[in-house]
Structure 1
Amino acid sequence: MRWDGISEFVYVAEYESFTRAAKELGISTAQVSRQISALEKRLNIKLLYRTTRKVSLSEEGRVFYQHCRGVLDGLDAAEQAVSNLQSKPQGRIKLTAPVTYGEQQIVPLLNDFMVQYPDIEVTAFLSNQKIDLVEGGYDLAIRIGKLSDSMMMAKKLSRRTNFVCATPAYLSQHGMPRALKDLGQHNCLLGTRDHWHFVQKGQEKNLQVTGTVQYNSGHGLVDAALKSLGIVQLPDYYVQKYLASGELVSILDSYREPEESIWAIYPHNRHLSPKIRLLVDYLAAHLA
C-alpha cells in the first residue's frame, strides 16, 4: 500500500494537471484524484493545492515529489537494465534546438546517430523560442545559457564563446577599439537585440550599440563583417574559421563574457529511456 498514489502524485506534479496525468497513466481523472486524496490522508499532509485553473505543489509536496521521483527513476532503471540485455535502441525521438546551432551542430550529429542506429527515428523542430516540452510531447531540448526550469533534468553537452570581431581592413580604416566606450565611434552590426554582452571589472555589462545593419541572421551578420561593414559580436560557431584564417580579428578580448553552457534538458519521466540516454551521451561525446 505504500506505493498507492505515488505514480499519480508524481505525474500530476510534473504535468500540473489531473487530466493530463490521467491520460499519460491510462486511467480516469477520478481515479487519479482518489489515489492522491488517499495518499494525502495516509500521510496527513497537504501535497497539492487545487483550483479550477491550476494545480501546484505545497512546500511539503515539493519535498515529497523529489524523493518519489528518485524512487520511480530507480524502478525504471531496474526495468530498463533487464530489458536492455535483450533489446537494441529503437523508436522515435522528438527534440527541439535553437535554429542556427541546430542546423550547424545538432542536425549533422543526428544524421550520424541514425546511420549508427538505423532503428531510431528522429523528429527535430528548430526554434529560438522556449518550447514547453511536456505540452509539445518532446523528449529532449537543446538549450544555451542559464537554465530556469527546475522540473527538468539537464546534462551539459558543450560550451560556446561570444567573440567581438572585424576585418583587418575595417580596423585599419576606422581604428582599433581599446575600451567598451570606443564602440560608440564604430558601426556595430546588430542582431535581434540592440545591446551586446561584456564583463567589466568582474561585473556583467549589457552595452547598447548602434549601427547601419540589423539582421535576425547570424550568417548575414558574418557576411556583413567579412565585407568590412562594421564590427560584430557572434558565437564561436559563426566566426571560428574566419578567426583562424585571419579574415576576422578578435577585439576587446579582456571584456569577453564567460563561456555559456550548452545543455540537453529532458522531462523527468523520460530521462531513463535507453534511446534518449544514448542520444544525449552521443551528443555530449561529439560536441565536447
Structure 2
Amino acid sequence: MKQWQGISEFVAVAEHGSFTEAAQHLHISIAQVSRNIAELESRLGLKLLYRSTRKVSLTEEGKLYLAHCRHLVESLDQANQALSSLKQTPRGLLKITAPVYFGENKLAPYLTQFLSRYPEVELDLHLTNAKLDLIQGGYDIAIRLGTLESSSLIARRLGSRNQHVVASPAYLQAHGTPENIADLQTHQCLQGSLEHWRLQCPERGLVQFRPQGRIHCNSGPFLLQAALSGMGLVQLPDYYVDDALSTGKLIAVLPNYQLPNEGIWAVYPENRHLSAKVRHLVDFLKVQLSGSD
C-alpha cells in the first residue's frame, strides 16, 4: 500500500495548481499533502513539482507521471463508488425512452411494479420509435429492440423477441399459403415503417424481402388489425401477435424462414451504470423479460 501513498495528493495538486486547494478537495491538512508528495518523490527519486510562493507547476517527469496516475485515481474512485452503490436504495428521477407499442403493452406493467417496490423513484417515460440521443436528452436508459448500432453506450440484454410472418385463416384460404420467399411476390404484404422484411433462408442465410401491397402504415397496431381483417400477410414481433396466434385468429407462415431470436436491450450512458436506480431497474427488467429468451 505504501507505493500508493501520495498519488491522490499529487494528482489533486496538479489539477488544482495549489496545495491549499488540493488539501481542501481531499479534506486533509496542507502539511499532510506536502509530506505525502515529498515521500512519493523520495521513493521515485524524481522531482514531480516545482514549488514557489505563488504557484505550483509540473516538471517534465511530473507531466508524464500525471498522465498515468490520473487513470489510477479515477479507477479507484469508480471502484469505491461501485461498492458504495451496492448499499444505496433506488431514489430520484428515472428518465426512460422506449418504443411506443412495446412500452405501452409490455414495459408499462413492469415499470409500475418497480415504482411500487421503490417509492422514492420518480418516472419520466418518453415513448417514441425514434432513436433519441441519450446524452443530449438526459435519459438514464433507452429500451431498444433488435440489432443495435455500434456506439459508446453500455448495452445489456434483457430478453428476446421473435419476428413472425402471419395472416388470417380467411386470407390463407382465399389466396393460399406461401411456402417460400419467392411465393410472397404473389401475395398482399402489409408494409410497416421498415422497407424490408428480414427472413432467414436455410440456403442463403439472412434475406431481405421488400413487401408489396395495398397498405403501407407506420403503426403496428393498425397492421395487426388489417391482418386480422384478412387484408394480407404481415411481419410483426411476438408481442403484437402472440394472443392472436394462440387463439387461431392468425396463423404463422414460413416457419422455416423465421429469424433467430433478436435482443431486447437496456442501453445507457457509461456514467449511469453505477447509479442505484439504473442498476436496480435493469436487474429487475432482466428478471421480468428473460422469460422470452
Alignment match, 2:160: 159
TM score, norm. by length of structure 2: 0.74
Give the corresponding residue for 2:84. 79
User: Quick one: distance in 1 between partners of 2:145 and 2:74?
Assistant: 26
Q: Is 1:228 aligned with 2:235?
A: no
Match in the other structure for 1:146: 147
Q: Take 1:189 and 1:161, find their aligned partners in 2: how far apart are those partners?
A: 18
The corresponding residue for 1:23 is: none
The structural deviation recorded for 1:280 is 0.9
CA pair 180-88 structure 1, distance change in 2 beyond 3 A: same
Q: Deviations over 1:244-283 (max 9, x none)?
A: 1111110001111111101111111111111111111111
Q: How is 1:75-114 mapped onto 2 (pairs within 5 angstroms)?
A: 75-81=80-86, 84=87, 88-114=89-115
TM-score (normalised: structure 1): 0.75
Deviates more, 1:103-112 or 1:207-216: 103-112
d(CA) in 2 for partners of 1:263, 1:187: 32
Aligned-residue offset at 1:76: 1.1
Match of 2:116 in 1: 115
Report the Cα distance in structure 2 between the residues aligned to 1:278 and 1:153, rounded to whole angstroms.
15
Given residue 246 of structure 1, which amino acid in structure 2 is its aligned partner? Answer: G
Deviation by residue 1:107-148 (Cα, 9 ceiling, x = unmatched): 221112111211110101111122111111111111112223
Q: Deviations over 1:74-111 (max 9, x none)?
A: 12112324xx2xx5322111111111111111122111
| Matched residue SS, 1:112 | helix
Residue 272 of structure 1 aligns with which residue? Answer: 274
Any residues of structure 2 matched to 1:185-200 within 5 Å, and which?
185-200=186-201
Higher gyration radius (CA): 2
Supply the distance in 2 between the matched residues of 1:287 and 1:119 (Cα, whole angstroms): 23
2-structure distance, mates of 1:257, 1:234: 12
Aligned to 2:248: 246
Q: Any idea what SS the aligned residue of 1:221 has? A: helix
Distance in 1 of aligned mates of 2:66 and 2:114: 49
Q: CA deviation at 1:68?
A: 7.8
How many Å separate the matches in 1 of 2:228 and 2:61?
64
Deviations 1:41-60 (A, max 9, x none): 32597x9xxxxxxxxxxxxx
User: Percent identity of the aligned residues?
Assistant: 40
3-state DSSP class of the match of 2:190? strand
Looking at structure 1, the residues matched to 95 and 204 of structure 2 have their Cα atoms a distance apart, in angstroms, of: 40
> Aligned equivalents of 1:153 and 1:68: distance in 2?
22
Which contiguous aligned blocks of 4+ residues in structure 1 show a shift greater than 6 angstroms? none
Q: Quick one: which amino acid aligns to residue 250 of structure 1?
A: A
Match of 1:41 in 2: 63
Matches within 5 A, 1:175-214: 175-200=176-201, 201-214=203-216
